[in-house]
């Protein structure tokens, strides 16, 4: 197979031409129509190749992610990208044979002795437009489900992580034929072209604003979509929760990847009067997790200077509008930033901040924060938190901390969110048997595990008529015999 050019330091990411995007899509489309189904052995072999790609080249991919972020340790990429992919591959390979089997269904009495089942078949060509924040996991995760379901995959990764995107293109070309799985590169124009192709399904992960544009472009060809978007995911602390434990778990969920996580807790409700205690517990938790920020390889850089400037502008505006902004510093005596040059990666390691007194007229309460900034809102009654959540677009995730099951169940019943983790953060995304997806403005459709396999399959209903069928009794011309048969059938319903 033809080798693709690799990205050298200082080079721009090579765009895939419009003609090449069309050629690759047409090749995949033709292959999917020439082989409408894919045998179990073919599906397994493709997944095993993807696993080999990860096993053999994880260090190279981690180095590419580090180059794109400026500061993001291979260990962080291991836990946040590779571990989830390995777990997803292991589970998919374990259950794939069962998922592929036709699903028998009961036949109603009035159709017996016919037999029926649901046969899951590949959709065809699945497009994947992936984001920059977890540039390996969110590129290859949808591909696992799509390949398991027997599809071809056309991946367009983010232009904001050019080293990772170029390395993915190079490696995928080494392990897969272009009509099985290929990568196209470029900016928003290439993404728009992919979204406008007559794909059989399109997966997009990114902002709600861009998701709307993707859905509109896909609608021209009636392309079904899975949209994994963002939003403001709330966390609620009940009065009886373990404040220290909750603060640690919220700090971890908020500061993983420096807050650049679509399911990170975006703002926090706590009982009024506990603000100072929470601030102290949160500071202590952050100090244990990240004793220092500048030069700490476990603490990721903000992806670009533009994104960093936006976050600082959110804090500036909040201060000007009267909020109490508390920026967290390094623990005294922590190591100084290393002297070696890491580009501007260290300069983009933004210190975490707590914001008390945030109000609805502040941008940080209107926009998804996507950074290490946590607004904290006091509530007197649970109704206040629930009303606030329900008055805004439905979030991708919700987090509740407490020990009272009745209160937990009330929160679950009275709110709608893409997913929930109770007494922790983020972990529902890692459960192999739970679907992952949004609702409303935070997206639609879900994948991971069997729900992903089903999402990327066509459930074809099949009925096999028996030669002993009595269906002819319902054929015209209608008359007295028809009336007698219908009278009997009505009694059986």
Looking at the annotation, which residues are catalytic? 228, 262
DSSP track, 166-232: HHHHHHHHHHS-TTTEEE---SHHHHHHHHTS--SEEEEES-HHHHHHHHHHHHTTT--EEEE----
DSSP character at residue 221: T
Q: If you search the block for the tokens 């996991």, which residue do you land on? A: 137
Cα pseudo-dihedral 359, 365, 370, 371, rounded to 10: 0
Phi-psi region of 402 (alpha: psi -120 to 50; beta: other; left: phi over 0): left
Strand 324-327 and strand 353-356: pairing? Answer: antiparallel
DSSP character at residue 342: B
Helix (H/G/I), strand (E/B), else coil: 445: coil
Q: How far apart are CA 133 and CA 113, in angstroms?
A: 54
N-to-C CA span, the chain: 60
- Cβ distance 425 to 253 under 8 Å? yes
* Helical pair 40-69 and 137-148, crossing angle rounded to 10 deg: 170
């Amino acid at each position: 197979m033809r080798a693709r050019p690799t990205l050298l330091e200082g080079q721009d990411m090579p765009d895939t031409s419009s003609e090449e995007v069309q050629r690759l899509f047409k090749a995949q489309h033709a292959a999917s129509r020439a082989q409408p189904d894919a045998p179990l052995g073919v599906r397994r072999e493709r997944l095993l190749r993807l696993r080999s790609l990860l096993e053999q080249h994880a260090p190279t991919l981690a180095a590419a992610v580090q180059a794109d972020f400026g500061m993001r340790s291979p260990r962080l990429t291991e836990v946040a990208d590779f571990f989830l992919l390995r777990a997803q591959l292991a589970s998919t390979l374990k259950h794939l044979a069962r998922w592929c089997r036709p699903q028998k269904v009961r036949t109603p009495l009035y159709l017996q002795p016919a037999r029926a089942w649901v046969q899951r078949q590949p959709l065809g060509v699945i497009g994947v437009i992936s984001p920059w924040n977890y540039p390996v996991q969110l590129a290859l995760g949808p591909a696992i489900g799509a390949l398991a379901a027997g599809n071809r995959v056309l991946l367009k990764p983010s232009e904001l992580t050019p080293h990772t995107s170029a390395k993915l293109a190079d490696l995928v070309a080494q392990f897969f034929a272009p009509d099985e799985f290929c990568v196209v590169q470029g900016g928003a124009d290439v993404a728009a072209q992919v979204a406008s192709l007559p794909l059989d399904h399109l997966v997009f992960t990114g902002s709600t604003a861009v998701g709307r544009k993707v859905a509109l472009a896909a609608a021209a060809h009636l392309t079904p979509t899975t949209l994994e978007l963002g939003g403001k995911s709330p966390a609620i602390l009940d009065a009886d929760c373990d404040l220290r434990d909750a603060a640690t778990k919220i700090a971890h969920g908020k500061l993983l990847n420096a807050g650049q996580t679509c399911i990170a807790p975006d703002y926090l409700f706590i009982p009024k009067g506990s603000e100072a205690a929470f601030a102290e517990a949160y500071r202590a938790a952050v100090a244990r997790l990240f004793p220092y920020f500048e030069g700490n390889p476990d603490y990721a850089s903000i992806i670009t200077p533009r994104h960093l400037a936006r976050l600082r502008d959110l804090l500036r505006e909040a201060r000007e509008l009267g909020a109490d902004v508390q920026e967290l510093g390094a623990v005294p005596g922590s190591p100084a930033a290393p002297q070696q040059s890491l580009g501007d990666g260290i300069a983009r390691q933004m210190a975490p901040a707590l914001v008390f007194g945030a109000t609805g007229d502040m941008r940080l309460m209107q926009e998804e924060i996507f950074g290490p900034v946590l607004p904290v809102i006091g509530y007197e009654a649970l109704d206040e938190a629930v009303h606030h959540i329900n008055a805004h677009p439905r979030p991708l995730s919700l987090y509740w901390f407490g020990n009272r099951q009745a209160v937990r169940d009330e929160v679950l019943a009275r709110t709608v969110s893409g997913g929930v983790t109770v007494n922790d953060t983020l972990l529902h995304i890692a459960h192999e048997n739970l679907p992952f997806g949004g609702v409303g403005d935070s997206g639609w459709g879900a994948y991971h595990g069997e729900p992903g396999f089903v999402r990327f399959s066509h459930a074809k209903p099949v009925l096999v008529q028996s030669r002993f069928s009595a269906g002819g009794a319902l054929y015209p011309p209608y008359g007295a015999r028809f009336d007698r048969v219908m009278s009997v059938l009505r009694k059986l319903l």
